[in-house]
Amino acid sequence: MLRVEGIHAGYGNTRVLRDVSVEVGDGEMVALLGPNGSGKTTLMKTIVGVLRPTAGHVMLDDQRLDGRRPNRITSMGVAIVPENRRVFSFLTVKENLLLAAHARKDKRGVQEDLGFLYDIFPLLEERSSAKGNELSGGQQQMVALGRAVMQRPTVVLMDEPSIGLSPVMVQQLPRMIRGVQERTGAAVLIVEQDAGVALDLATRGYVLRAGSVVRAGTAEELADSKVLLETYLGPTVTRTDPPAAGS
């Protein structure tokens, strides 16, 4: 479904990504992990056309995405849940959601998706007339996830969805993300520094370090690698070994 092949990209003369290759299959959820500064967000920007790679390709099925404008990539079925949500502050919750569906012709389907969102996120219905700048961080994240549903994409990119959320909202986040995928059937690439959230959701994952993929494997393989967790993902996901017998 989505293939990133040998991508090199960066900002000006600063190269951030070096020969990065990532695949996300139809209906699959894949995690992209790594510490701050490893290139995760740069890769997302490259996929959606904000950055143009200096080498390599981004493919959606048999169509190339690299070189296309972001709005064209969106129209081809790629949705992004951006870091820090970026909800339109001057629009209401409902207006934010309906704006994401502006290109759809199936009015009945749009209303059905809106009803679905109100079912899984009751707070959105309660606050449907509230402006974006009146929402909490958790409520804004619900709107950001809801916009992805309203686009009816084939691929959803999620960039640090847990950032800035309260611990209670972080615990609820996996349920919300699963709801988005189940509704859309989309392939999902989730970028997360919090490996606990990402590996709870994904079936496979890649680890970036200094702009290169240093490890790939199943979620179980990545979660069970103590050295990997300590080296690349930080102490928040480091598991503590049981005490030795007799200690």
Q: Do 48 and 41 meet the contact criterion of CB atoms below 8 Å apart?
A: no
The answer to the question of residue 62 being in a domain is yes
Structural domains of the chain, count = 1
- State how far the Cα of 50 lies from the Cα of 163, in Å rounded to an integer: 21
- State how far the Cα of 210 lies from the Cα of 246, in Å rounded to an integer: 42
The answer to the question of residue 100 being in a domain is no
CATH code, 224 = 3.40.50.300
The answer to the question of residue 223 being in a domain is yes
Residues paired with 213 in a beta bridge: 208
The answer to the question of residue 124 being in a domain is no
pLDDT tens per residue across all 247 residues of the chain = 899 999 999 998 899 999 999 999 999 999 999 888 899 999 999 999 999 999 999 999 999 999 899 999 999 999 988 877 688 888 999 999 999 998 888 999 999 999 999 998 898 999 999 998 898 888 888 898 999 889 999 999 998 888 877 888 888 888 888 888 988 899 999 998 778 888 889 999 999 989 999 889 999 888 876 656 665 555 554 444 444 444 4
- What's the pLDDT score for residue 173? 84
Q: Do 110 and 98 meet the contact criterion of CB atoms below 8 Å apart?
A: yes
The answer to the question of residue 142 being in a domain is no
Residues in contact with 131: Cβ distance below 8 Å, sequence separation at least 6, in sequence order: 89, 90, 91, 92
Residue 60's domain comprises: 2-85+151-237
The answer to the question of residue 177 being in a domain is yes
Rg of the Cα atoms in the chain: 18
The answer to the question of residue 102 being in a domain is no
| CA proximity to 206, closest of 40, 88, 57, 26 | 40
The answer to the question of residue 90 being in a domain is no
